[in-house]
């Protein structure tokens, strides 16, 4: 099976976005009303993929003895965001093109022309006005709302722009309730919101997204050792889930945030270029130090072996679940020349997800809708459905059904055919190699458990 000639970045994205809609991965939010910019809905396949991604992260991060889980609320006391620096500093410089009125982040414009492709509507003529931008205004990216019925300044709340702060403010609650000792970590998965000036590239930069963050609290002085440890752990997680090694790399921050002493991004090579999917930061003692200052509560840790008190340093691993989902969608998408079985060759689109990420693990396909094959198929489906996400399909030629399952990345197709009626065996077709083997009908369940590493 040969790889088809490679697509340009734009072609690739067009095909991926179209497949995502057609096969129920990702839909535009509020589509029937024209959509809502920067927001996306996960369809039946998308939510399985996203849940598999999150559950793999959760297991790898919290099924160990030195990391605890947490699910903090999205709305937090407004002082949290003063302490974190978000009220003051979480801003982007925003400029408007004086010609077409489009709005941009100042650091993302090409000074020579506005370049807005939506200019002049459907004709997609680029706005060419040279350098005629308004001067930059600082725009805070936090979504603001009010708690209770009165819209007054004392009632302001923010939708959290990151999950990390919920962890810092619960440091002592988690430590005391679990009897953990430093070094230990707290992990959580949850929604975050940023009123991005320019949303772009599908799930890459959105206004509502999900993060998978872990804050690891360490004794000052041991921080760089733990930083290296988590950096490698996190790279390995992507590789273990089938990310191509040549599609991710580390990017070291040259300019560090004032509180950080080291920062690396894990970047993925998207069709539009390299982009961050996760940040690994040594945040020093800044976070607990600031919350101690703003809350007036003592957030020091007492080390009863060394008999000393200190503010723990934090090593943060901050991954985007939505952005990670997009990276795994890009990583999986393939178009190949494949034989049809009757001497012809056709192009098949196949999502080569790691079996752990695949939304559907196996499809049960009776070859024909007669001779008792559907009955055997539905019985097998009923036996498997409590353990795996499986799909039963009896409509269309088996070739068409294989292609449909390839498009959603189903690792195994199990066909019930005339031989099944004679000797109680089935054909198992593997998605990537398209190789087929016969196994006993009553061995299917054990086969899937083994192959899916469940
Ligand atoms: N607590 C640190 C923090 O939030 P960040 O680099 O701003 O750091 C971490 O965000 C991760 O969250 C990014 O690597 C990315 O995967 C994801 N992320 C950030 N902004 C996003 C957006 N607007 N849309 C989708 N994902 C985003």
The tens digit of pLDDT for each residue in 328-382 reads 999 999 999 988 767 788 899 999 999 999 999 999 999 999 999 999 999 999 9
Q: Relative to the CA of 204, which ligand 1 atom is closest?
A: 25
Query: Which regions of 390-435 does DSSP assign to beta strands (E)?
Result: 390-392, 412-416, 425-430
Q: 213 CA to middle of ligand 1, Å?
A: 10
Residues in a beta bridge with 190: 211
**Number of independent structural domains in the chain:** 3
Does residue 445 lie within any of the structural domains?
A: yes
- Same domain? 28 vs 159: yes
Does residue 87 lie within any of the structural domains?
A: no
- Same domain? 104 vs 181: no
Q: What is the Cα–Cα distance from 352 to 423, expressed in whole angstroms?
A: 32
Average pLDDT, rounded, for the chain: 93
192: phi then psi, degrees, rounded to nearest 5: -135, 155
Q: What is the pLDDT, as a whole number, of residue 128?
A: 60
pTM of the model: 0.93
- pLDDT category, 453, cuts 50, 70, 90? confident
Does residue 348 lie within any of the structural domains?
A: no
Q: What is the pLDDT of residues 32-90, one digit of tens each?
A: 999 999 999 999 999 999 999 999 999 999 999 999 999 999 999 999 999 999 999 99
**Contact of 53 with 321, CB cutoff 8 Å:** yes
- Its domain, for residue 439, covers 360-451
Does residue 379 lie within any of the structural domains?
A: yes
Q: What is the pLDDT of residues 239-290, one digit of tens each?
A: 999 999 999 999 999 999 988 999 999 999 999 999 999 999 999 999 999 9
Does residue 238 lie within any of the structural domains?
A: yes
Q: How many residues does the chain have?
A: 454
How many other CB atoms sit within 10 Å of the CB of residue 370?
8
- Same domain? 325 vs 378: no
Q: What is the Cα–Cα distance from 431 to 121, expressed in whole angstroms?
A: 43
- Same domain? 274 vs 325: yes
Does residue 85 lie within any of the structural domains?
A: no
39 burial via Cβ count (<10 Å: 0-12, 13-18, 19+)? middle
Angle at 38 between CA 35 and CA 44, to 5 degrees: 70
- Same domain? 111 vs 211: no
Does residue 200 lie within any of the structural domains?
A: yes
How many other CB atoms sit within 10 Å of the CB of residue 55?
13
Q: What is the pLDDT, as a whole number, of residue 359?
A: 98
In three-state secondary structure terms, 166 is helix
- Same domain? 445 vs 300: no
- Same domain? 75 vs 106: no
Q: What is the Cα–Cα distance from 29 to 237, expressed in whole angstroms?
A: 30
CA separation (Å) from 240 to 53, 66, 146? 12, 21, 43
Average pLDDT over residues 414-425: 97
Does residue 342 lie within any of the structural domains?
A: no
Ligand 1, CB within 6 Å, residue ranges:
162, 164, 194, 196, 205-206, 209, 211, 213, 276-279, 316, 318-320, 322-323
**Contact of 159 with 180, CB cutoff 8 Å:** no
Angle at 106 between CA 105 and CA 111, to 5 degrees: 125
- Among residues 308, 329, 350, the one where a domain terminates is 329
Q: What is the CATH number of the domain that holds 63?
A: 3.30.930.10
Q: What is the Cα–Cα distance from 432 to 353, expressed in whole angstroms?
A: 10
- Rounded to 5, what percent of the chain is helix, strand, coil? 35, 30, 40
Q: 156 CA to middle of ligand 1, Å?
A: 23
- Same domain? 309 vs 387: no
Q: Which of 26, 54, 234, 279 to mutate to test the pocket of ligand 1 (most atoms within 8 A of CB)?
A: 279
Give the residue carrying structure tokens 């088996």: 398
Helices (H), strands (E): how many in the chain? 13, 24
Q: 403 CA to middle of ligand 1, Å?
A: 35
Q: What is the CATH number of the domain that holds 386?
A: 3.40.50.800
Distance separating the N- and C-terminal Cα atoms of the chain: 29
How many other CB atoms sit within 10 Å of the CB of residue 403?
18
- Same domain? 121 vs 218: no
**Contact of 114 with 128, CB cutoff 8 Å:** yes
- Same domain? 287 vs 377: no
- Same domain? 200 vs 130: no
Closest residue by Cα to atom 25, ligand 1, is: 205
Q: 330: number of CA atoms within 13 Å, CB side?
A: 29
- Same domain? 309 vs 430: no
């Amino acid at each position: 099976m040969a790889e088809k000639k490679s697509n340009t970045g734009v072609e690739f994205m067009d095909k991926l976005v179209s497949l995502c809609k057609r096969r129920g991965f990702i839909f535009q939010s509020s589509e029937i009303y024209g959509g809502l910019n920067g927001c996306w809905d996960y369809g039946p396949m998308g939510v399985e993929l996203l849940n598999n991604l999150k559950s793999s992260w959760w297991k790898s991060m919290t099924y160990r003895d030195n990391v605890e889980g947490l699910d903090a609320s999205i709305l937090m006391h407004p002082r949290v965001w003063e302490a974190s620096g978000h009220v003051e500093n979480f801003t982007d410089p925003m400029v408007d093109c004086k010609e077409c009125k489009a709005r941009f982040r100042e650091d993302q414009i090409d000074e020579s022309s506005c370049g807005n492709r939506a200019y002049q509507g459907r004709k997609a003529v680029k706005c060419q006005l040279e350098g005629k931008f308004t001067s930059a205004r600082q725009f805070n990216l936090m979504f603001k709302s009010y708690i209770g019925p009165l819209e007054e300044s004392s009632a302001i709340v923010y939708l959290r722009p990151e999950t990390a702060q919920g962890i810092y403010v619960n440091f002592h609650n988690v430590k005391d309730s679990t009897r953990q000792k430093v070094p230990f970590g707290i992990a959580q998965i949850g929604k975050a919101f940023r009123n991005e000036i320019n949303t772009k590239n599908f799930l890459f930069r959105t206004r509502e997204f999900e993060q998978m963050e872990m804050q690891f609290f360490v004794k000052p002085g041991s921080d760089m050792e733990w930083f290296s440890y988590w950096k490698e752990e996190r790279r390995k997680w992507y590789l273990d889930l089938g990310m191509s090694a040549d599609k991710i790399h580390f990017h070291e921050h040259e300019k560090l945030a004032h509180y950080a002493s080291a920062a690396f991004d894990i970047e993925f090579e998207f069709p539009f270029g390299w982009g961050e999917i996760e940040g690994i930061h040594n945040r020093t003692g800044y976070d607990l130090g600031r919350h101690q200052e703003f809350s007036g509560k003592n957030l020091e840790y007492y080390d009863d072996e060394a008999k000393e008190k200190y503010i723990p340093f934090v090593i943060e691993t901050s991954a985007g679940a939505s952005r990670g989902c997009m990276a795994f969608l890009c990583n999986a998408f393939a178009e190949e020349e494949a034989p049809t079985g009757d001497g012809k060759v056709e192009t098949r689109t196949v999502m080569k997800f790691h079996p752990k990420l695949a939304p559907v693990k196996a499809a049960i396909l009776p070859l024909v809708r007669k001779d008792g094959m559907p009955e055997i198929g539905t019985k097998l489906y009923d036996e498997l459905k409590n353990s795996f996400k499986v799909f039963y399909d009896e409509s269309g030629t088996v070739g068409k059904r294989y292609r449909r399952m390839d498009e959603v990345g189903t690792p195994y197709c199990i066909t019930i055919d005339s031989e099944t009626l004679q000797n109680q065996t089935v054909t198992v077709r593997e998605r990537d190699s398209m190789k087929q083997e016969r196994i006993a009908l009553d061995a299917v369940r054990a086969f899937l458990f083994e192959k899916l590493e469940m």
